[in-house]
Amino acid sequence: QGHVMACFGSWCEYMCVRACENSQNTYADLDFIIPASVTSPWDIPKTYLYVDDIRKGGEIVDYLNRFLAQRAPSLSNAGLIRPYNATMSHEYRQAAMKAFCEKPPESRSESNDAETPSQCIRILVCTDAAGMVSASLFVYFVSQRDLR
């Protein structure tokens, strides 16, 4: 599928390294993170997506949420994709990490506003070290640096 999965020690199970095929400002190379046949939160692998710029991280959250709305309209307002960075309050980051570690709920009933993470997050777009979670994770790094 055009990417390499590799194990890099005990801090995470997998890391994905993938060459960009599209213009970086389109974020289209991130489409593979959300499966084509997504129908529930369970279908989206837990993913840390690391970005080296807070503004670009916000753009990626917006892009992935729009893309999720195209693939699964019923999940588009579930709050499954969230930012995680130093501009967020300590309370938000703590709640976001808890929601990321939770199993997906059977139904959505939590508030999904920007300061209250939903009870289940599947993708965290991070510019901070989001901590180490022992569960199986899919980690994807996005960098504007040349990888020559």
pLDDT tens for the 148 residues of the chain, in order: 554 444 445 445 556 666 778 887 889 989 989 999 999 888 998 888 888 889 999 999 999 999 999 999 999 889 999 999 989 999 999 899 888 887 655 544 444 444 445 578 999 999 866 644 434 444 555 544 433 3
Q: Coil, helix or strand for 83?
A: strand
* DSSP state string for 57-80: HHHHHHHHHHHHHHH-GGGTTS--
- pLDDT at residue 37 in the model: 92
Q: What is the pTM of this model?
A: 0.73
* d(C-alpha 107, C-alpha 30), whole Å: 27
Is the Cβ–Cβ distance between 41 and 75 less than 8 Å? Answer: yes
- pLDDT at residue 15 in the model: 63
* d(C-alpha 148, C-alpha 145), whole Å: 9
Strand partners, 17: 4
